[in-house]
Amino acid sequence: MAEMLNKEVVDKIISTVKEEFEKMPKLNIMVLGKTGVGKSTLINSIFGDSLVRTGIGRPVTSDIVRVEKKDFPLALYDTPGLELRGENDFSSLSEQVIKVIKDCFTDDIEGNEIHCILYCVNTASHRFEPSEAALLKKIADKIKGYNVPVIIVMTQSFSKKDAENLKKVIEAENMPVSAIVPVLAKDYVIDAGIVKKAYGIDDLAEIMAQILPEAIQDTFIALEKANLALKVRKARAIVATAATGAAAAGAIPLPMADAAVLVPDQIAMLAGITAAFGFPVDQGTLMTVISGTIGSAGATVLGRTVVSNLLKLIPGAGTAAGAAISGATAAAITYTLGEVYIQILTKVSHGDMNMADLNTDEGRAQISKMFLESIKMKRKPNGEIEE
Ligand SMILES: Nc1nc2c(ncn2[C@@H]2O[C@H](COP(=O)(O)OP(=O)(O)OP(=O)(O)O)[C@@H](O)[C@H]2O)c(=O)[nH]1
Ligand SMILES: [Mg+2]
């Protein structure tokens, strides 16, 4: 019985996550900068290396290439290997950028527009040339009407001191850009045993999440791999909405108890959280994550036999067994389910919990414990923990 419930629930969550990914609008990012500044390294550090490694590139102008992957909601407009040596080169690039942006906005394919430009300057070069400033100003000026935010990313900022100095130089140019962000996208080995740790990509991701158009933010949060806090924040918002919904929906008849905690709204909640964490849509992995977490919680904690015991632990649920659980209780269960799922996915993302361990007896016991501890806390009707 528990097995059946697991499989059914897991399948439903998997298909809902798939739907979530499928309906996500495509995020289109343009990355500009001289050859070797670290554009590809930057993209890899924000989104993982799968797009750059396995995506297919098609030239859209002589220098700009669009890289994308089937069924993957990200398109990258890249300028690989572009040598920018003089006025002419800069002028040609700015014309191409402007053309691509205009074409994207005017063609009939909806969702093709560029959402953000990352302009990369290499901090280690110690230079921000007047021609680069002119290029950026020209681009910003010509695309003013299209509302495309530009971020200057100072790549390869091994030295924070150099980055600080160059940032001041760039700021003095007073360019119409949304932000100037120094980063070191990848650990830098200075000498044997001396390593400068990567930094700044999480800040960049936070800024991008804020400046991207609302409609594309969920896609960005699902795709980015640089800032877990963004995902947790999004996931918590999903949980809060679901808990409020459960409270409003009111009483759920107890005979449905094992299903009661996994009714469509909760399944949608779990799928939404899974999507925000960007867990792979690949069936096998997702199956492991879900059956290892909610699957085991569903069987061992939320199953029919323990639901009535569980209810006794929830303040205010009283002797609901046999009748119906109240809206407040439904909210508390929903909230706990979401919160524990977030905790587990966070641990998995940090590497503190291994995907393979989730499906072991020990893993299941740990999850059940987390769930019970979480639900025992005193809660307000909306599911929030009382101080
Ligand atoms: N350690 C470290 N190396 C970096 C970083 N950024 C770039 N590099 C190195 O600099 C070189 C060029 O980086 P790419 O990311 O290929 O530069 P690109 O701008 O994509 O270059 P093109 O595609 O040729 O225009 C590579 O050897 C990278 O490993 C960084 O943040 N840390
Ligand atoms: Mg590259």
Ligand 1 nearest-atom number relative to CA 43: 15
Is the pLDDT at 304 greater than 50? The verdict is no
Rounded to the nearest angstrom, the distance between the alpha carbon of 31 and the centre of ligand 2 is 9
The HSE-up count of residue 156 (CA atoms within 13 Å, CB side) is 18
pLDDT band at 321 (very low <50, low <70, confident <90, very high): very low
Which CATH superfamily includes the segment(s) 33-223?
A: P-loop containing nucleotide triphosphate hydrolases (3.40.50.300)
pLDDT band at 231 (very low <50, low <70, confident <90, very high): very high
Pocket probe for ligand 1: among 32, 40, 190, the residue whose CB has the most ligand atoms within 8 Å is 40
pLDDT band at 2 (very low <50, low <70, confident <90, very high): very low
Output the ligand 1 site: residues, CB below 6 A.
Answer: 33, 35-41, 80-82, 155-156, 184-186, 188
Q: Look up residue 173 and give its DSSP letter.
A: T
* Residues with Cβ within 8 Å of residue 383, at least 6 apart in sequence: 240, 243, 246, 247, 331, 332, 334, 335, 336
**Spans of all domains in the chain:** 2-20+227-376, 33-223
The answer to whether the Cα torsion of 51, 42, 128, 123 is positive or negative is negative
pLDDT, greater one: 237 or 315:
237
Nearest protein Cα to ligand 1, atom 32: 186
Mean pLDDT, range 285-309, rounded to an integer = 53
Is the pLDDT at 160 greater than 50? The verdict is yes
State whether residue 28 is helix, strand or coil.
Answer: strand
Is the pLDDT at 178 greater than 90? The verdict is yes
Q: What are phi and psi of 219, to 5 degrees?
A: -60, -45
Checking DSSP bridges between strand 56-59 and strand 27-32, what pairing results, if any? unpaired
Q: Residue 254: its pLDDT value, please?
A: 42
The answer to whether the Cα torsion of 286, 224, 351, 55 is positive or negative is positive
Q: Residue 218: its pLDDT value, please?
A: 94
State whether residue 75 is helix, strand or coil.
Answer: strand
pLDDT, greater one: 384 or 222:
222
Contact 136, 150 (CB under 8 A): yes
| Exposed / middle / buried, residue 99 (Cβ in 10 Å: 0-12, 13-18, 19+) | middle
Q: Where are the alpha helices (DSSP H) in the chain?
A: 2-23, 39-47, 50-54, 87-106, 130-142, 160-172, 201-211, 214-223, 228-249, 257-260, 264-277, 283-290, 296, 304-313, 327-350, 361-376
Rounded to the nearest angstrom, the distance between the alpha carbon of 213 and the centre of ligand 2 is 26
Is the pLDDT at 310 greater than 70? The verdict is no
Q: Which residue has the tokens 């309906």?
A: 23
For 50-88, what is each residue's pLDDT tens digit? 888 888 999 999 999 999 988 889 999 999 988 888 788
Query: Which ligand number lies closest to the CA of residue 82?
Result: 1
Starting at the edge strand found earlier in the chain, the sheet holding 27-32 runs: 56-59, 65-68, 74-78, 27-32, 116-122, 150-155, 179-182
pLDDT, greater one: 162 or 22:
162
Rounded to the nearest angstrom, the distance between the alpha carbon of 40 and the centre of ligand 2 is 4
Query: Which contacts of 230-234 are long-range, i.e. CB under 8 A and separated by 24 or more positions?
Result: 230/205, 230/206, 231/276, 231/277, 231/278, 231/349, 232/342, 232/346, 234/276
Q: Residue 202: its pLDDT value, please?
A: 98
State whether residue 73 is helix, strand or coil.
Answer: coil
For 238-274, what is each residue's pLDDT tens digit? 999 998 887 776 655 443 444 444 567 778 888 899 8
The HSE-up count of residue 165 (CA atoms within 13 Å, CB side) is 11
Is the pLDDT at 375 greater than 80? The verdict is no
Pocket probe for ligand 1: among 34, 39, 41, 67, the residue whose CB has the most ligand atoms within 8 Å is 41
Q: Look up residue 157 and give its DSSP letter.
A: -
Residues with CB under 5 A from ligand 2 (ion): 39-40, 80
Give the rounded percent of residues in the chain with a pLDDT score beyond 90: 40
| Among 111, 85, 108, 84, residue whose Cα is nearest residue 97 | 84
Query: Which ligand number lies closest to the CA of residue 39?
Result: 1
Q: Residue 131: its pLDDT value, please?
A: 84
Average pLDDT in the chain: 80
Tokens coding 305: 């036999």
pLDDT band at 110 (very low <50, low <70, confident <90, very high): low
Ligand 1 nearest-atom number relative to CA 120: 19
Ligand 1 nearest-atom number relative to CA 196: 1
Tokens coding 12: 């439903």
* Residues with Cβ within 8 Å of residue 44, at least 6 apart in sequence: 52, 185, 186
